[in-house]
Amino acid sequence: MSELAITALRFGLLALLWIFVFTVISSQGRSLQIARPARLTRRKKKTDQDVSSDTPPPPTRALPTKLVITEGPLAGRTIPLNGQPLLIGRAQDAGLVLEDDYASGRHARLFPQGSRWFLEDLGSTNGTFVQGNQLTRTTPLEPNVPVRIGKTVMELQA
């Protein structure tokens, strides 16, 4: 091969090397960025008024304290929670005993975590429904959201 062609290839190789380097750098783009720590403090002066008007009030941080039964044989009953996990079911040792053929012995479990209550279905036969949707896994339960087990409907209240 001619001298000229080899010289051209030589510089071509160097160019290719740098193209490789720059391709790697440019295609990395934002993947080199490390996730910014979440901003904890609200921007003060500017949004002071907007917060009150536009956005809904920040969720109450306090843990709801009672479970109110709204429908079913036990309607009107209020169960104080005291921040303790509650077992719901037909079994006699359950925290909330349901006299209901459609409830399983150990039907569901309500337990606190941080500032929220979580509802877990313990493999019941007929399922646990939150707002009409059957629970498939542990779910945080907000106050005033109806939960149906068998014929009983209940909700958390502050």
Whole-angstrom distance, CA of residue 84 vs CA of residue 105: 20
Residue 12 CB, nearest approach to another protein (Å): 8
Q: Which residue number, 16 or 75, has a Cβ lying nearer to another protein?
A: 16
| Residue 97 parent element (H or E) | strand 96-97
3 state SS of 123: coil
Contacts of 101 (CB under 8 A, 6+ apart): 150
- Residue 25 in contact with another protein, rule: CB under 8 A: yes
- Residue 6 in contact with another protein, rule: CB under 8 A: yes
Question: Applying CB under 8 A, which of residues 74, 85, 105, 126 lies at the interface with another protein?
Answer: 85
Strand spans (E) along 40-85: 66-71, 78-80
- Residue 1 in contact with another protein, rule: CB under 8 A: yes
Residue 47 CB, nearest approach to another protein (Å): 21
Contact 150, 126 (CB under 8 A): yes
Contact 69, 154 (CB under 8 A): yes
3 state SS of 95: coil
Residue 18 CB, nearest approach to another protein (Å): 5
Question: Applying CB under 8 A, which of residues 63, 68, 122, 153 lies at the interface with another protein?
Answer: 122
Q: Which positions touch another protein (CB under 8 A)?
A: 1, 6-7, 9-14, 16-21, 23-25, 27-28, 31-32, 34, 85, 87, 106, 109, 111-113, 118, 120, 122, 130-131, 133-140
